[in-house]
Amino acid sequence: MKGGRASAPVAQEGWAPLPRGRFTGIDWSAPGALDHSDPYLAWAEATNFSGFRAANGMPADPQWLPVLIELRAGHGVADLVAAANPKWLQVPWVYLGLGSGLRFCTARVRRGFFNALREGGALHGMVARYDLGLPVGHQARPFERHAADGNPPPAATAKVSGHVTVVIDNGLALAHSDFLSGAGHQTRVAAFWRQDETVGPHGRAAATLQPEPLDPARAGPVPAELGYGHELDRSAIQTAINAHTRNGRVDENALYAHWQMWEINHAANHGTHVASLVAGPTVYTHTIGTEDSPPNWQNATDPASRSTLLVAQLDWASVADSSGGALTVSVMDALAWALARCAPDACVTVNLSWGALAGSHNGSSTLEAGMAELIAASGLDCRLVIPAGNAYQARTHANVLLKAKDAATLHWRVMPDDHTQSFLELWFEDHEDAERSLSHLQIELTPPGDSAPLPAMAIERSGVWPTAAAPQAAILFPARSALGHPGSCALLALAPTARWFRNTVITRAGVWTLKLINASSRAVAMDAYIERDDVALGAADTGAKPSRLEDPFYDTSGGLGGFIDHPDNPSLVRRSGTFNDIATGAGTVSVGGIRYFASTMDPMARYSPRTPDPDASRPERKNVQKVPDRFAVSDDHATLWGVRAAGTRSAAQVRLVGTSMAAPQVARQLVNRKK
């Protein structure tokens, strides 16, 4: 958003300049174009949004873009709405009712928004930064209702009091007996909002090029405060349950077919399992380390087992994009929806068992800062619980202190047959003064099979390789990144290595070599994070193949002590520092996983961040979080991973693995806190 300042050209020999965005109109190669702008949007435009697919599997062709916006101090959401034109910016009504000083909101925008950010524009000096959401399907269309649409504000919704459990997830079996009470099968769900608008499955597995819209008579109306999706209130849920009860039993198959909940035909679903752990009528009891007392399920009498549920089901297209890039808008809207339905005296606990891997890891991302302010602005007694992540052994993180006039080399292995794009974020910070300029940093990139690197890319420069017409790779290296602060972040983006569609540009599989050069006289701390790239539970196969960092000193032996970093090991690839990228925000309770039968040598789940931090003495960027705030059982035993909880039918139990299963146990403890 800065413009007009003199600078060296951002592209250089061996690199092609970033093209002008066809949607935004931004010349991404211009000096300062990436300042405070989402670099993932610049890459998306450079690749013509080829990394995104609509519900029918076809390439994205957005008419509007969903974004998460942070405003500068002194400006609120009402100021944004008043200054903008609804022809190019539309904000959901919900953000006008959650505190007058709220500086974060989601919106759908067109080119006029980006024009208004320029010097002399209506929003110049008002918007601090923005993040791109998922530019496909209904998220790439204008809202049905929005603030400044000329209509009166939506009527106030019924608000819930007492102990309120909010579950933001996917695959939620509303009629499961864990969420009913009494002989009359009374639902405990006060409201259910599903963000998707068509019957699945989606993406490459879509059954038709014209996905079937959800029927509002069955899935519920569009919530006016959000402008998309479908909402069922308690009355509608109960009416449907009553209509599908036969001989005292709920016909769950028929009920889910009535609600068009295609995903509940799977035996296991993430959201159902999580919700049963946090608010089910039985509680998982255990005494850590006591092998003579096995884990047990006991009938619960705690407030959590009687709490009112607010359930937000994330858009399945967002879930399928496991890179996490699409989550910002979906999660922020889900949290806003839930908080808007809570009475001032409610005691609220939010469980969000989702996330990704890249990011600043210091609470400065737009979504983390936005969620923290949203909760504060609501004035509610609210706790947010998020798992710490499952990638401890996945080799997605590296750390090094680049001393003066020093360099370091990373080896990034990208897999063959990967049908999705790959991303690596490099976070740099002056070791002594986090706000100091990093003007002497450079990155050399050597593609697989090449003997010589491309010309070094300096900070404040960006480019694509080999051509702007068919970019296989890019480095986007602003002085200040919209992804977080302080310091700076360089985004490395790669095209897929395989394709289903003839017009998809692909790149080389193999090892991409990065040389990080510090030409200054000061030490710089660096963290590298590979973004998550796998297939989420319940989602159709996207063809994702996770990449990894390689180092000859990294211990892959699997021997005793071989699953933990050791300070004397010179490997730059470090398990410590691998963490869920949305779990480090202010006020967030992050949860790691441990084994129930905990050996005295190593009680930690292999995949979870651990305590104490083996790398506590390693030079770090300031305020980076590496150790979870709390821990709970996520594995019963070293040879029996996972925790049993509800399947998608009332008679079923399934075992799922991960810190996503630990988080709801801690959330349950917080639900039970005194009001």
Mean pLDDT of the chain: 91
The pLDDT of 63-86, averaged and rounded, is 97
pLDDT of residue 6: 35
pLDDT of residue 106: 98
pLDDT of residue 4: 36
Please determine, for residue 601, whether its predicted confidence score (pLDDT) is greater than 80: no
Q: What are the two backbone dihedrals, phi and then psi, of residue 336, each rounded to the nearest 5 degrees?
A: -60, -45
pLDDT of residue 205: 59
pLDDT band at 358 (very low <50, low <70, confident <90, very high): very high
| Distance of alpha carbon 404 from alpha carbon 520, whole angstroms | 6
Please determine, for residue 441, whether its predicted confidence score (pLDDT) is greater than 60: yes
- Of 266-275, 342-351, 395-404, 500-509, the least confident: 500-509
Which one has a higher pLDDT value, 319 or 219?
219
State whether residue 616 is helix, strand or coil: coil
Task: Enter the tokens of residue 222.
Answer: 């569009």
pLDDT in tens, 460-496: 999 999 999 999 999 999 999 999 999 999 999 999 9
pLDDT of residue 263: 87
Contact predicate 346/339, CB 8 Å = no
pLDDT band at 3 (very low <50, low <70, confident <90, very high): very low
H helical segments located in 233-348: 234-243, 252-258, 270-279, 316-320, 327-339
pLDDT in tens, 123-139: 999 999 999 998 988 89
Alpha carbon of residue 133 to chain centroid: 10
Between the CA of residue 357 and those of 333, 397, 516, 581, what are the distances in Å? 21, 9, 21, 5
pLDDT of residue 10: 41
- Domains of the chain in sequence order: 163-391+625-671 (3.40.50)
pLDDT of residue 388: 98
Burial of 546 (0-12, 13-18, 19+ CB in 10 A): buried
Please determine, for residue 215, whether its predicted confidence score (pLDDT) is greater than 80: yes
pLDDT of residue 101: 86
The pLDDT of 149-156, averaged and rounded, is 90
Residue written as tokens 């009712």? 97
By C-alpha distance, which of 97, 197, 73 is closest to 147? 97
Burial of 663 (0-12, 13-18, 19+ CB in 10 A): buried
Which one has a higher pLDDT value, 600 or 640?
640
The pLDDT of 256-271, averaged and rounded, is 93
pLDDT of residue 322: 53
| Distance of alpha carbon 136 from alpha carbon 63, whole angstroms | 9
| Distance of alpha carbon 118 from alpha carbon 93, whole angstroms | 26
| Distance of alpha carbon 313 from alpha carbon 168, whole angstroms | 6
H helical segments located in 47-152: 77-83, 111-116
pLDDT of residue 629: 98
Which one has a higher pLDDT value, 237 or 325?
237
Please determine, for residue 334, whether its predicted confidence score (pLDDT) is greater than 60: yes
pLDDT in tens, 286-322: 655 444 455 566 788 899 999 999 999 998 777 666 5
pLDDT of residue 286: 63
Alpha carbon of residue 188 to chain centroid: 27
Contact predicate 461/474, CB 8 Å = no
Bridge partners of residue 397, in order along the sequence? 529
The pLDDT of 548-566, averaged and rounded, is 92
The pLDDT of 532-559, averaged and rounded, is 84
Contact predicate 171/271, CB 8 Å = yes
State whether residue 239 is helix, strand or coil: helix
Query: In what side-by-side order are the strands of the sheet with 89-90?
Result: 89-90, 104-109, 65-71, 127-132
Task: Spell out the residues 6+ positions from residue 370 whose beta carbon is closer than 8 angstroms to its own.
Answer: 68, 70, 104, 328, 332
The pLDDT of 229-242, averaged and rounded, is 98
Task: Spell out the residues 6+ positions from residue 541 whose beta carbon is closer than 8 angstroms to its own.
Answer: 204, 205, 535
pLDDT of residue 503: 84
pLDDT of residue 638: 84
pLDDT in tens, 488-498: 999 999 999 99
